[in-house]
Structure 1
Amino acid sequence: MYQLLIVDDQPDLVEDLASMLPWESVGVASVYRANSGQEALEIMNVTPVDIVITDIRMPGLSGLDLIEQIRASWNHVKCILLSGYNDFEYAKRALQHQASDYLLKPAEDEELLNAVSKAVSELEDRWQEVTSHQSALSSLRSNLPILRSHLLLELLKSRATGLAELKERLQMLELPFTAPSGCCLMLLRPEDYFDEQNEKDSSLLEYAICNIAEEIFSDEYSLWYTKDEYGYLVFLLTRKKDALSAEPMNIHQIERKTAQLQHCVKLYLKGTVSLVLSKQAAFPDDVQGTYELSLSSFRQRIGSERGFQLTLAEDAEQGEANSLSRLYHPPLLIHLLEAGQWDAIDEKLNLAFEELEQKWGDSHEHILETYFMIVSSLSFSIHKNKLWMAELMGAEYNQLLNGPHFHTVKQLRSWTTSVLQAYREHMSGKVQDSRSNLVQKVQEYASGHLEDASLQSIAEHVFLNPSYLSKIYKLETGEGISDYLSRLKMAKAAHMLRSTPDKIYEIAAKVGYMKTSYFIKVFKDRYGMTPQEFRDR
């Protein structure tokens, strides 16, 4: 169901149109009302509107100016214009701003309903086209290389989802990998000539390397590749279905092909590459471990040498010491603290502590590594928020001064939990104080500028987006800003009716109502009597 906004400087007409017509019959669930172009924009800033019916001639922002602004910010909204004048220039401008319909006042009920029904049909056709299966497939195909690259990066970082979802994504991205199956991983580092290129040329050369690799391996193997955060090109190889897939992958054959790849890159692209080739691994379970082992071997056994090729032995292991991978998987702890994502922080630390307990529970060095990572991230975040660690951490700060004396993972986890809890409570209180201060600023401004106060003017005063301000205010007070303004205006009007001799129209103007008739209606809705009846009593 759709949402409709009716805009006219005659409040009675707006009320009649909103309440008297069977809008549900043409697919409209909610009808909003505005008595000026500016009020209409304020409503649209905080409420999703699909169709606008607006009068052309209104004081301030005209209907034509209104739909021009709507087109600039909400291109999908359908606009229907009402005019008391059969003027060609009006119709011409309406067409220029892609108005859905142009009706002359007084429009028949049937005319209005038909115009809205037509707008609803146009909206349905448009969104049907956008969300159609063919459109989705077309978009997917045009972005296949990027989506494939992202999925492989997830596997390398062990961030991919369960096996069933992985199979579905492999199929959707038309990747010829089955889970489980056999694969080899090739880690390739562009060197020399490639290092001298600018970013654009470097990307083209990397694309060329991948094309050469496809050409060399395509007779028997399918390739899936990406670029990692270290600038290496990572290739996964699997046998094609028409090859003898029951047999293990022929590593010697792959070595010959990688040597040919190095030769072609040097011959045609004028640069050298070094690479590490793994033995056969299980896809997807061994992908992350094989990748990390390849990275480690690249650094330790190839280093700064150029044009090297290394094949990992069957019994290659990570070695007796290694870093804690969970600590360094993005998003990093320092970034989560900076964003205040406390649930994600808890999840990340739980995973890090689990890895620490399972793999390095007896290693004091790894406990220290985890401690220093947590402290450096905390100190950065605390100082960035202009706080002192000593004041925030209390007695726990002594642990920093005296140096880490943790002998078990349990001790470190307990200390970390205590510090993070104190930091979280402090930041939550700070947010609450900030919101309370914001509510106070809103109410002070509204009280001092009641004649022209609106959601838009208040948002500009406190330098916030109107939609965000509206949600925060309602969250804190339980009342919308528009409701608060209306209540405040009615309270002031009632006070003036009791204590001043001002005319009704003068009081209406002083509380921000340009139309006296509309002021009377709103006042009666609130107090159950007209302003004059209120004064007489």
Structure 2
Amino acid sequence: MMMYKVLIVDDEIAVIEGLEATIPWDQLKIDVIATACSVEEALAEMRRQPADIVISDIRMPGMSGLDFIREIKRIWAQTRCILISGHSEFQYAQTAIKNGAEDYLLKPVRDEDMIHAVQTAVDHLYEEQRILRSHDQVLKTLGESLPLLRSQFLNEILQGKPYTESMFEEKLNQLQIPFLFHVPSVLLLVRLETEESRNDLQVLQLSVIQIAQEILGASFSIWPCIEWHDYVILLAQQQIDHLEAQSYEQALQSSHALLQSLVIKLQGTIMSRLKFPVSLVVSDWHAFPSNIPHMYQSLLRAVRQHSSHDQGLLLALKEPRGLQPLPMLKTLYEPPFFLHFLEAGRWDAARDKLASIFEEMVLVGEGQSEMLLEVFLHISHAYSFITHKQGRLLYEVIGADYERFDSGLSFYSVHQLQEWSYRLLDKISAEMSSEAKTSRRYVAEQVQKYIQEHLSEDISLQTLADLVQLHPVYVSRIFKLETDEKLSDYILRLKMEKALHLLFHEDLKVYQIAEQLGYFNTPYFIQVFKKYYSCTPQEYRDSAAGKKAP
């Protein structure tokens, strides 16, 4: 746990002693308390060991508290400052805030106001340090992860994930990918023809990428990835200094001639160094970033047409003239997939995905029977997968609609399939939502039980999160959803109710009751009790004793 140092500066010793004694510093994550009776003494303490939070009177002999705060902010910019004063004039508060004070409190300072001010300062310190650590970590991680992030981005493009030109350009800049729009580009597929274990295969794939950078990198920008068939994909674009003052057609001819010779060298170098054959397929040229998914599919078709027995191939593809491929349902295979929405429990988004698929089916309209079968199998697989993943059988969840699987496909229109798909989605989402609610209730009950059994301890949200193996923020949210009460309010209510019981039924000292409730600072317990019940523990006990008297 991160702990902080506070420095209390006041020329009235009683004020310092009062703050030291009555504020629950440990609960506020303060583990070092330093004090000073003058600004000079305070500055000496800051030079010796800077404080995270400074609490200072505004009226001090010699240098004023305002000047002190200004000096602190000049030298120790991250230190949080809280000013206290017996003067309520607006100009003091205005000047204090202008000088960088965290808060401005009037004497006599109420403990709850000081606690709130210190807690706010601690929260700001923690957030600043979290952001700083996060920023440094992100920069470090980003540098280490750039190759992986670039590979993932190219895989998304290969699979047809839609990007606007502005989104595409922003992503290229973020990942430092030196590709230019509307410049001729080509896709290369490398098939490694060897039987290797998974770990060895990854090393060989990275070796291929390294060799490609070595052979092609002098003239072409290379953007590599390893796609899910375990093929190495290389997107290549000739560098701008080789294309200056050329028309698109001239650039295309120049790039084609240069790449043709380099690809032969690339294949030979890979086979020479790795000692096994590789096949290399080169797509037709397109202006970046258009047609990348189409280029990728053409490479896969070419590989499918040549089995693994046809080793050491070198194929350069040209788009066939006059060939009209069957219309494809682009939306069906566009990420995020329908199954992804089901796994995330995003039921509205899943319904929107279905609507987009069916809308495209109506627009395409060709080969409808096979298209109906294709979509039916796709959606059925997703529904089966998600229910099985939840430990349920599909027929238990969808009931009579399961007959479609037993009787075979009997959809004759997009409308029929659409109605059936929506109906199943509603049944599955209702079932999953019901199970999620039951799961939330269990979490809330476990948390309540633990709190009831450990009221004498300082119960932290992290402890409760560890108990139910969930994120602290999620635990707090679940508890509020299920009980309509904030977790902190619930803990406080139980402690105060038990305090009443102990005061009424047990002959214990107030400090003993405080300790039984996890308050090891008795004055703070008294303050909390008075704020909750509008009387002190002793006042309540005296009142209760009067009621019990005959």
Classify the secondary structure of the residue corresponding to 1:285. Answer: coil
2:164 to 162, 166, 170: 162
* Alignment correspondent of 1:441: 446
1:76 maps to what in 2?
A: none
SS at match of 1:183: strand
In structure 2, what is the equivalent of residue 407 of structure 1? 412
Match of 1:53 in 2: 30
Give, as a single letter, the amino acid of the residue that structure 2 aligns with 1:262: Q
What residue identity is the alignment partner of 1:409?
Answer: V
In 2, the alpha carbon distance for the partners of 1:129 and 1:444 equals: 36
Residue 395 of structure 1 aligns with which residue? Answer: 400
Q: Offset of 1:258 from its aligned partner? A: 2.4
The reply on whether 1:489 has 2:488 as its aligned counterpart is no
**Alpha-carbon displacement from aligned partner over 1:430-480 (angstroms, at most 9, x marks no partner):** 222222233233334433443337235555554545443223213433433
CA 1:313 to 1:396, structure 2 compared with 1: closer, same or farther past 3 Å? same
**Aligned residue for 2:226?**
227
- Within 5 Å, give how 1:208-357 maps onto structure 2: 208-214=210-216, 218-219=218-219, 221-241=220-240, 242-243=242-243, 244-248=246-250, 249-250=252-253, 251=256, 254-301=259-306, 304-315=309-320, 320-321=325-326, 324=329, 326-357=331-362
1:529 corresponds to 2:543: no
Equivalent pair of 2:225/2:233 in contact (CA under 8 Å): yes
Could you tell me how far apart the structure 2 residues matched to 1:361 and 1:390 are?
A: 32
1:137 and 1:496 map into 2 onto residues whose CA distance is 55
Report the equivalent of 1:366. 371
Secondary structure (helix, strand or coil) at the match of 1:274 reads strand
- Residue 87 of structure 1 is matched in structure 2 by none
Aligned residues: 463
Distance 1:284 1:335 in 2: 26
Letter in 2 for 1:234: I
CA offset at residue 330 of structure 1?
A: 4.9
Letter in 2 for 1:247: E
CA distance in 1 between counterparts of 2:201 and 2:335 reads 24
More displaced 10-residue stretch of structure 1: 485-494 or 314-323: 314-323
Aligned partners of 1:7 and 1:379: how far apart in 2?
63
The answer on whether the counterparts of 2:52 and 2:78 sit within 8 Å (CA) in structure 1 is no
Q: Distance in 2 between matches of 1:393 and 1:196?
A: 40
Deviation string 1:317-337 (CA, Å, 9 cap, x unpaired) is 886558755444555544543
Work out the CA distance in 2 between the residues paired with 1:504 and 1:379.
61
Structure 1 CA distance, aligned partners of 2:302 and 2:328? 14
> What's the CA shift for 1:281?
1.9
Per the alignment, residue 106 of structure 2 pairs with none
Aligned partner (choices 105, 120, 123) of residue 78 of structure 2: 120
Q: Which amino acid aligns with 1:435?
A: R
Letter in 2 for 1:366: M
Partner amino acid, structure 2, of 1:407: Y
C-alpha RMSD of the superposition: 4.5
Post-superposition Cα deviations, 1:110-156, rounded to whole Å, max 9, x if no partner, equal 69978898371697799679859xx9989866655444433322321
- The reply to whether residue 473 of structure 1 matches residue 473 of structure 2 is no
**For structure 1, which segment, 515-524 or 109-118, has the greater mean C-alpha deviation from structure 2 after superposition?**
109-118
CA contact (8 A) 1:183 1:236 kept: yes
Query: Structure 1 residues 493 and 153, CA, compared in 2 at 3 Å: closer, same or farther?
Result: same
Deviation at 1:157, TM superposition (A): 1.9
Of stretches 515-524 and 318-327 in structure 1, the one that deviates more from structure 2 is: 318-327
TM-score normalized with structure 2 length: 0.69
TM-score by length of 1: 0.71
Matched residue type, 2:523 = S
SS at structure 1 position matched to 2:78:
helix
3-state DSSP of counterpart to 1:405: coil
1:150 equivalent in alignment to 2:152? yes
CA distance in 1 between counterparts of 2:524 and 2:428 reads 51
Q: Secondary structure at the match of 1:236?
A: strand
Quote the Cα distance in structure 2 between the aligned partners of 1:435 and 1:7.
Answer: 44
Aligned to 2:391, which of 383, 386, 389?
386
